[in-house]
Structure 1
Amino acid sequence: MDATDEEIRSLLDAETIAVVGCSGTPGKAAHDVPAYLQEQGYDVIPINPNRDVVLGREAPDSLGDVADDVDLIDVFRPSEEVSSIVDDAVKRRQRHDDVEGLWLQRGIRDDAAADRARDAGLVVVQDRCLMVAHREFRG
């Protein structure tokens, strides 16, 4: 079941967005979308095990290494990796009670993992660009 417009608007109220697979390479969607979100005032936590700093901020290796509260997890990893990311998100929600939603960017989908995330209380958006949705709903 896709997130409703109301649920998407609620996710856009997030303050802190952890971006799994955030790239340090301008011109890639995994860099440009988080940069746009940062410009819009979101606190973007770039998660990238191959870089120490992305978007001017320290980049943790994994979601489990993020010490700050996280409202939304934005995913720029292949669909095959979504299941383990959902496992991490669910564990984080159980420990910190801070994650409200999971956003899988355009081209990324795993229905079974999305169902597990929903069962854990997360709002899930699949195969949709967060930047496009922000422009659509917050223009």
Structure 2
Amino acid sequence: MDLAERALAAADTIAVVGLSRDPRKAAHSVPATLRAAGFRIIPVHPSADELLGEKVYRSLEDIPEPVDLVDVFRPAAEAPGIARQAVAIGAKTLWLQQGIVSREARRIAEDGGLTYIEDRCIAVVRALAGITKD
């Protein structure tokens, strides 16, 4: 297993920053796929109240339970702030989706002791490695 596969296999609860209301977008279909594979998904969105049948939180710091992995569907410019929040809540992994790269987020996450994955689709990693939580 590579680092991304190990990080995902170790996770049970995934907070998804930027989970979309639009089922046609990857920011909706990817978390839905993870949920179907048995992962607990906690949506983080600025204005929605419920997504994928789950209560939505405005920020990572508002989530009242432990989070193993933070999956990011936001622009790279927002990644450092999200990394700071991920460190603050004690997440184990920060994962920036495919196409998202941030040197500053990497430094913040790694300095905070988090595993850092960037520019990879979590759903592809899950499917190829056959990782489920059933």
TM range (shorter): over 0.9
Shift in Å, 1:10: 2.1
Q: What does residue 4 of structure 2 align with?
A: 8
Letter of the 1:12 counterpart: L
Equivalent residue letter for 1:83: P
Are 2:84 and 1:92 aligned? no
**Residue in structure 2 matching 1:129, options 117, 121, 132:** 121
1:17 to 7, 14, 18: 14
SS in structure 1 of the partner of residue 5 of structure 2:
helix
Q: Residue in 2 aligned with 1:108?
A: 100
The one-letter amino acid paired with 2:44 is I
In 2, Cα distance between the equivalents of 1:62 and 1:42? 20
> How many Å apart are 1:137 and its aligned residue?
1.3
**Count of residues in Structure 1 that have an aligned counterpart in Structure 2:** 130
* Gap runs ≥5 in structure 2: none
Of residues 28, 31, 45, the one that matches 2:28 is 31
Separation of aligned partners in 2, 1:112 and 1:61:
23
Match of 2:70, SS? Answer: strand
The normalised TM-score by structure 1 is 0.89
CA distance in 2, matches of 1:122, 1:55: 27
String of CA shifts for 1:83-119, please: whole Å, max 9, x gaps.
11011111112xxxxx110100011110122122111
Partner of 1:68: 65
* Percent of residue pairs bearing the same amino acid type: 43
Letter aligned with residue 106 of structure 1: Q
**CA offset digits 1:26-71 (Å, max 9, x no partner):** 0100000000000000000011111000001110111011011100
Q: Give the Cα–Cα distance (whole angstroms) in 1 for the partners of residues 6 and 98 of structure 2.
A: 19
5+ residue gaps, structure 1, are 94-98
- Partner amino acid, structure 2, of 1:92: I
Partner of 2:52: 55
Cα pair 2:92 2:113 within 8 Å, conserved: yes
RMSD: 1.2
